[in-house]
Chains A and B, each alone.
Chain A
Amino acid sequence: MRITLHYSWRDRPIHKVENKVILITGTRKGIGRYLVEYYARKGLEVIGCSRNQVDYQFKNYHHFCLDVCDEVKVRDLFAEIRKRYKGLDVLINNAGSASMNHILLTPLKTVQDILNTNFVGTFLFSREAAKLMKKNGYGRIVNFATVASILKLEGESVYASSKAAVINFTQILARELAEFGVTVNAIGPTPIKTDLIRSVPQEKIDGLVGRQAIRRLGTFRDISNVIDFLIQPQSDFITGQVIYLGGVS
C-alpha cells in the first residue's frame, strides 16, 4: 500500500491509497489464472496459490502450493507475506469447486469437499488477511458468490448452498471489519467458460443464461471489471455488497 496526501475540492487533506499487494486463491487455471495475469500486468505484486504448481510465471508473481482449507499451511503463507511484503492490500477468494448432481446421488464426501474449498477456505484466508490489513488500516476482500444461489438451480444444491454461506459471511464480515478500514464484498458470476461448468450439459447452460437479463455467457473481463471497482481505494464506502453479473437479481 502506498499512501500520499492529496487535497480534495474542499481543501480537506485526504489519504490517497494505492493497491500494491494482491493475494488471489485458486490460480492454477480459469478465472484465478486470468486474474494473476491481469493484475501482474498492471504492476501489482501478485501472490497466488493452488494445490498444484502452475505452468506460467511472471516476475512479480509468487506461487504457493497448498490446500485452501489447510489451516497450518494457510497461516505459514500469511507469515511469509508479512515477512516479504510487510502487508496485504487485496484478497480475492477465488478458489472454488463445484459438483452438479441430484441430492439423491450426492456423496457426503463431495459435500464436505465443496464446503471446505468454497466456505472454509474463504473463512481462513479472510481471517488471516484481516489480521494483516488491520495493521495498515486498509484492505479489500472480494469473495466469490454465484447466481446459482438466487436462481435456486436444481442439481446445484450443495454448490449454491456453499456460496450462500459465503454471501452471509461476506455481509457479516463487512460489519466486523469496517472499523479496520477493510471492505468485504462479493461478485456473483454467471456461467463463464471454465472447467467449473465443463460437465454441465449445454441445455442446462442455455436455460440458465435464458434467465439472465443480459443473455450471454460471462467473460473474464466481466469479472475483473467488477473486482477493479470493488478494490479501488475510492470504493471505501462500499461493503457487504454482492454484485451479480448478467442482470440476475
Chain B
Amino acid sequence: MTNNKRITNVIFSAVEEVNGQLPRKQRLEKSIDTILFGKSGKLDSLALVNLIVAVEEKIQEEFGVTVTLADERAMSQTNSPFKSLGTLADYVALLLEGQTNSQG
C-alpha cells in the first residue's frame, strides 16, 4: 500500500472515531473533499480538536512516529492544513516526509 493510501486510511479511521462522538447531522463523510470547518464545514472547534488528536494517535499506531499536527508551521500557513480532509492528508504526508529525512 502506498504511503498516501495509508495516510488516507489513517485519517478516515480517525473520522470514524470522531463521528462516533458526534450527532448524526454533524458527522463527516469519509472523502478527501470533506470540508472540516468554515462556512461549509460541519465541525465546531472542539470537534476539530478531537479529530486532530485522533489523527495524531492513529499516525503513531500506523507509522510508529509521533507528530504534532498543530505545530508552528501549520498555524503560520496562509491556507490552513485543517481546511479539509484532503489538505489534512497532504500536511500529514509533509510531516512524515520531514520525519523520514531527519532520521535518514
**Residues of A near any B CB (own CB < 8 A):** 71-72, 75-76, 79, 82, 131, 134, 179
B60 CB-CB contact with A under 8 Å: yes
Instruction: State A193–B57 Cα separation when bound (angstroms).
Output: 41
CB <8 Å contact, B57 and A75: no
CB <8 Å contact, A131 and B68: no
Instruction: State A79–B60 Cα separation when bound (angstroms).
Output: 8
Instruction: State A72–B66 Cα separation when bound (angstroms).
Output: 8
Our pick among A71, A131, A179 for the contact of B53 (Cβ within 8 Å) is A131
Q: How far is the CB of B31 from chain A (nearest CB, A)?
A: 25
Our pick among B46, B66, B68 for the contact of A79 (Cβ within 8 Å) is B66
Name the CB-closest residue of B to A77. Answer: B66
CB <8 Å contact, B53 and A134: yes
**A-B contact list, 12 entries, CB within 8 Å:** A71-B68, A72-B66, A75-B66, A75-B68, A76-B66, A79-B60, A79-B66, A82-B60, A131-B53, A131-B56, A131-B57, A134-B53
**Please, which residues of chain B bring their CB within 8 A of the CB of A134?**
50, 53
Name the CB-closest residue of A to B53. Answer: A131
**Please, which residues of chain A bring their CB within 8 A of the CB of B46?**
179
Name the CB-closest residue of A to B60. Answer: A79
Q: How far is the CB of A18 from chain B (nearest CB, A)?
A: 24
Instruction: State A179–B53 Cα separation when bound (angstroms).
Output: 16
Instruction: State A72–B57 Cα separation when bound (angstroms).
Output: 14
Q: How far is the CB of B68 from chain A (nearest CB, A)?
A: 7
Q: How far is the CB of B47 from chain A (nearest CB, A)?
A: 12
CB under 8 Å from chain A, chain B span 36-59: 46, 50, 53, 56-57
Name the CB-closest residue of A to B71. Answer: A71
**Please, which residues of chain A bring their CB within 8 A of the CB of B57?**
82, 131
Name the residue among A71, A72, A75, A76 with the largest chain B CB count within 10 angstroms: A75
**Please, which residues of chain A bring their CB within 8 A of the CB of B50?**
134
**Please, which residues of chain B bring their CB within 8 A of the CB of A131?**
53, 56-57
Q: How far is the CB of B99 from chain A (nearest CB, A)?
A: 10
Name the residue among B46, B50, B57, B66 with the largest chain A CB count within 10 angstroms: B66
Instruction: State A71–B66 Cα separation when bound (angstroms).
Output: 10
**Please, which residues of chain A bring their CB within 8 A of the CB of B68?**
71, 75
Instruction: State A82–B50 Cα separation when bound (angstroms).
Output: 17
Name the residue among A76, A82, A131 with the largest chain B CB count within 10 angstroms: A131
Instruction: State A72–B67 Cα separation when bound (angstroms).
Output: 9
Q: How far is the CB of A69 from chain B (nearest CB, A)?
A: 15
Q: How far is the CB of A212 from chain B (nearest CB, A)?
A: 41
**Please, which residues of chain B bring their CB within 8 A of the CB of A179?**
46
**Please, which residues of chain B bring their CB within 8 A of the CB of A72?**
66
Q: How far is the CB of B6 from chain A (nearest CB, A)?
A: 18
Q: How far is the CB of A202 from chain B (nearest CB, A)?
A: 46
Q: How far is the CB of A190 from chain B (nearest CB, A)?
A: 37
Instruction: State A82–B53 Cα separation when bound (angstroms).
Output: 13
Instruction: State A192–B56 Cα separation when bound (angstroms).
Output: 40
Instruction: State A75–B46 Cα separation when bound (angstroms).
Output: 21
- Give 12 A-B pairs besides A75-B66, A82-B60, A131-B56 with Cβ atoms closer than 8 angstroms: A71-B68, A72-B66, A75-B68, A76-B66, A79-B60, A79-B66, A82-B57, A131-B53, A131-B57, A134-B50, A134-B53, A179-B46
Instruction: State A179–B50 Cα separation when bound (angstroms).
Output: 12
